[in-house]
Structure 1
């Protein structure tokens, strides 16, 4: 009887409590903020560990290799909790990719939902609370609706994210996103600006616009272009910085450069994934542009009045990539002069056309090429970051390294800056400091705060 009473109390203590773990990209992280806000609005309370939760959610990502194995491994670690009355939900890209197979592999999972169905989450929660199992949200990839909510639980009180476009229509041969997140669908510019206005009124000074291909945004009301949305948010009272990620070269237009030049609050940083410097490989990737076409966009960026920092993504070892193709990618680093490169070895993803291509590049060759590429980029960044020596720049405070006696922050070009201050009271998180750069490294800058 004592055990029974304890068990009942344990169930009561976890009723309508939830724990969420997020895997993957910034889009997933912001999706989780919206899911958390929705759950809290539905009367749930968030807890910090699985043991205290009645509902455990895993927001999953399928971009990288073996992503689904990681999810099932995590589920297996906690399946013993099923006997404690806990319920499990798998949401996000792996949920959409694996679908109802998740129920077969992990029968203790009660809810499986792709991101295109998050707007139906309140209804799915009601069904879950009623004791229903095998609840799915998997059929909405062709929807025109987006997951707009006023109940976003933002984790950072100074920097906030707004998803302006969901899904992807590009169908690059290696990418699983169109199959997991559905077709491109954009919010109205009025709803985007209204959310940005609410954030600015709440004290957010750094606003970042998100999308799988953020610059593919097409205002569903037809009122504003992507560049006009950027400019409008940048000119709002209280907003100090506006960023956007990730851009697609096919939709990168001159007016984006124009608004960066015209509105100082729009940050001087562009992330423009190239994936390969070889036009032959780009064709196999179904990127639908050539090296020369991409470099024309880079020329626009370099011709801007402001100096714009450039970063990119690169895939090494795509099927059919020859040594000559790889050398063309390596030479692109010198030609463009990126301030940062995120490079990865190719790995086949489920449901993509590339999964049927013969893998002609061995694992060791992929690893060697990746190392050569990053070694070269590190040297280029040493030079690139070195040009900031002696410059004075504005830095948003993000944290403190007390061991080194430094404040950590980020410049408008999205570069990490570690700096010292002379006053005994450290600057507040989210504040902006003027910093003179006194030392440079390939991935960061070091400086000292300049007195007002």
Structure 2
């Protein structure tokens, strides 16, 4: 989501007459887009800002955008006095006006929105970095208020775009040659069309049926809003990717209650049963937190058994770290960091075993793979399957297949984190469009 926010910010600035450069030394304005979902990410922000201090004397101006900007507000000016602008993500629509004030000589500009705003950041000037795979934010903000999560305080309440505006943007992207579209949202399946025209599943199908589209993805879903019609839509619409990311966070109902997730282990497993009963083989991935305050050995063991029962294709796991303004800040963090690290190691070791075994089901399969890059040292092409798995493959072609093209690949080897194969025959090769940008500003994620 931060990467797509940067694309929209870049497009907005370019429309205002700014140009982009790749190096800080060549920039007159440096915008730093930030994340505060975990403590480590937030620490990096101020470490990086300190590195930029030496550039102040060169007349450069600095802006801090995103979640840390919204969270820290004007305190950033105290920690980094050389910063000229602080703007949360909900105020990006005001960037042209803020930039005019900056150019007029104003030294400290703040764009911080109340979380109750109903406005979304929609722009037709998105500077998409990939000419084949593009993002569309369909819902902003979050109303879930999980005990550990800072997002509702930094990105505001949930507010959805109309289905009509999403379809217009998707159609423009397909007309420009994009073959893969990914819907984004803090809780993307919490989407509610303000016009009442379409459900989330119906919007997925509508975009999946656009002529020229090859793949439609979405992330990240919330179990509380995950409905059976989403699985049905994937089953019925071949262009909808057979991959669902459904964060569970813990396998213990007691810990889930403490986290204010408002579902139980059994509720989550019921949704897993819907996915596993689908006609298509749908890949499942998840997020997990270990060491949440009060998590016992028995609670952690329930997470391990859940992993074994679901057999995820990938798990993104993290040690709990308290975030500002969240209820978890006031909870006694009774889990020593050493134990958190040990539990994280145990969880990822178990998941690696499962992936090693579970990926084996793809051996000998034919997979359609979208080309993403090349690995010259291994003489391999790197691509991604519809299930969002990395596929490293060889090809008998003398020329490398174009980035963004689709090939049929036979899987000859399975590893814990990727598939290995051989290209059999080209699918429709899509033309590679080279994008060149000239600029005198830089946006850093």
TM-score (norm 2): 0.95
CA distance in 1, matches of 2:90, 2:425: 49
The answer to whether the aligner puts 1:438 opposite 2:412 as a matched pair is yes
Residue 273 (structure 1) aligned to one of 239, 244, 247? 247
Q: 1:279-298 to 2 correspondence within 5 Å?
A: 279-298=253-272
Residues 351-393 of structure 1, C-alpha deviations (whole Å, 9 max, x = no match):
1100110011111111111111111110100111011000011
Matching residue of 1:412 = 386
Q: Give the drift of 1:68.
A: 3.0
Residues 198-233 of structure 1, C-alpha deviations (whole Å, 9 max, x = no match):
000000001000000000000111110000110011
8 Å Cα contact 1:67-1:94 kept in structure 2: no
Q: Give the drift of 1:133.
A: 1.6
Matching residue of 2:401 = 427
8 Å Cα contact 2:407-2:425 kept in structure 1: no
Q: Give the drift of 1:134.
A: 1.4
User: Secondary structure at 2:71's aligned position in 1?
Assistant: helix
User: Secondary structure at 1:450's aligned position in 2?
Assistant: strand
Matching residue of 2:278 = 304
The answer to whether the aligner puts 1:229 opposite 2:203 as a matched pair is yes
User: Secondary structure at 1:314's aligned position in 2?
Assistant: strand
CA distance in 2, matches of 1:247, 1:323: 28
Q: Give the drift of 1:130.
A: 0.4
The answer to whether the aligner puts 1:212 opposite 2:186 as a matched pair is yes
Q: Give the drift of 1:79.
A: 1.4
Matching residue of 1:55 = 29
Q: Give the drift of 1:451.
A: 2.9
Q: Which has the higher contact order (CA 8 A, sep 6+)?
A: 2
Which deviates the most, 61-70 or 265-274?
Answer: 61-70
Matching residue of 2:123 = 149
Coordinate RMSD, CA, aligned = 0.8
The answer to whether the aligner puts 1:80 opposite 2:54 as a matched pair is yes
The answer to whether the aligner puts 1:128 opposite 2:99 as a matched pair is no
User: Secondary structure at 1:179's aligned position in 2?
Assistant: helix
8 Å Cα contact 2:393-2:421 kept in structure 1: yes
Q: Give the drift of 1:401.
A: 0.8
User: Secondary structure at 1:46's aligned position in 2?
Assistant: coil
The answer to whether the aligner puts 1:95 opposite 2:69 as a matched pair is yes
User: Secondary structure at 1:45's aligned position in 2?
Assistant: coil
Matching residue of 1:43 = 17
Q: Give the drift of 1:139.
A: 2.5
8 Å Cα contact 2:353-2:416 kept in structure 1: yes
Q: Give the drift of 1:166.
A: 0.4
The answer to whether the aligner puts 1:174 opposite 2:140 as a matched pair is no
Residues 160-215 of structure 1, C-alpha deviations (whole Å, 9 max, x = no match):
00000000000000000000000000000000010000000000001000000000
Matching residue of 2:431 = none
CA distance in 2, matches of 1:431, 1:128: 43
- Runs ≥4 residues deviating over 6 A: none
User: Secondary structure at 2:425's aligned position in 1?
Assistant: coil
CA distance in 1, matches of 2:339, 2:324: 23
User: Secondary structure at 1:451's aligned position in 2?
Assistant: strand
Residues 246-278 of structure 1, C-alpha deviations (whole Å, 9 max, x = no match):
000000001100100110000000000000000
Which deviates the most, 390-399 or 61-70?
Answer: 61-70
CA distance in 2, matches of 1:85, 1:349: 34
Corresponding residue pairs, total: 426
Q: Give the drift of 1:83.
A: 1.9
Q: Give the drift of 1:71.
A: 1.3
Gaps spanning 5+ residues in structure 2: where? 427-445
